[in-house]
Amino acid sequence: MADYLIRDGKPSLAYHHRPGTGPTIVFLPGYMSDMNGGKALALEAWAMARGHAMLRLDYAGCGESEGVFAEQTLASWHEDVLGLIDNVTVGPLVLVGSSMGGWQMLLAAVARPDRVAGLVGIAAAPDFTEWGFDDAMRQTLAEDGLLVEESPYSPTPMITTLPLWQSGQALLLLDDEIAYDGPVRLLHGLDDPDVPPSISFRLGRALRSDDVQTILVKGGDHRLSRPQDLDLLVQTVARLIES
């Protein structure tokens, strides 16, 4: 069962924290995802076998956390991430962010540069409220306050609220220098239909760090959850920690 971070006036946040040697691996899920996905569990199994500390978490309104999904924003999820790493973990961190979690990873690294020892992005999707929305979608958000789309990954439709989109527009990163100097590894499938591989290239250029490597996976889709993809993720995190 999950543990919970209780917060005054805010939804309680579900998490699983495994103590161990550092740095603590923190997995940040994607949009409408949770801490029980294949990538998070594969990393936890590896961390457990080697005695590494790890934190899995659910944003408010997602998974086992309290809250209503449609009431959350990218800014409130950023506060969720900082609240959990500040209150649950100690010492250095390696943040692993999947898709939208890659955006949250970057925001946390900028906010806590003294604690974040490294970053691993999996189809990282910073600024998706900018490049991922065409004029028709923006018009729907402006007129209706809500955009509903079919999801290729779930029978539950994907929803975007106007406040969530607006919060993303206030947190854009790619057009300025991203003030993070630690090592960064970016994994991206060449057949990703949702986040163009070019976003990882833009991210690599925007990061201030001189230690950025982008690894393109031939045949890899957005999820990068095939057995060989999970092996690559684990190996990438392992090498980053060992270095």
Residue 156: per-residue pLDDT:
87
Is 179 inside a domain boundary?
Answer: yes
Is 148 inside a domain boundary?
Answer: no
What is the residue-level pLDDT of the chain in tens, covering all 243 positions?
899 999 999 999 999 999 999 899 999 999 999 999 999 999 999 999 999 999 999 999 999 999 999 999 999 999 999 999 999 999 999 999 999 999 999 999 999 999 999 999 999 999 999 999 999 999 999 999 999 998 888 888 999 999 999 999 999 999 999 999 999 999 999 999 999 999 999 999 999 999 999 999 999 999 999 999 999 999 999 999 998
SS3 label, residue 181: coil
Residue 34: per-residue pLDDT:
97
C-alpha–C-alpha distance, residues 207 and 175, integer Å: 10
**Which has the closest alpha carbon to 20: 52, 50, 46?**
52
Residues classed as catalytic: 99, 192, 222
Is 38 inside a domain boundary?
Answer: yes
**Which has the closest alpha carbon to 124: 152, 97, 146?**
97
CB 57 within 8 A of CB 84: yes
Residue 153: per-residue pLDDT:
83
Give residue 200's domain range: 3-128+172-242
Residue 238: per-residue pLDDT:
98
Is 227 inside a domain boundary?
Answer: yes
**Count of domains observed in the chain:** 1
Is 167 inside a domain boundary?
Answer: no
Is 64 inside a domain boundary?
Answer: yes
Q: What is the pTM of this model?
A: 0.97
Is 123 inside a domain boundary?
Answer: yes
Environment class of 240 (CB within 10 Å of its CB; exposed 0-12, middle 13-18, buried 19+):
buried
Residue 40: CB atoms within 10 A of its CB come to 24
Residue 152: per-residue pLDDT:
82
CATH number of the domain that 97 lies in? Answer: 3.40.50.1820
Is 191 inside a domain boundary?
Answer: yes
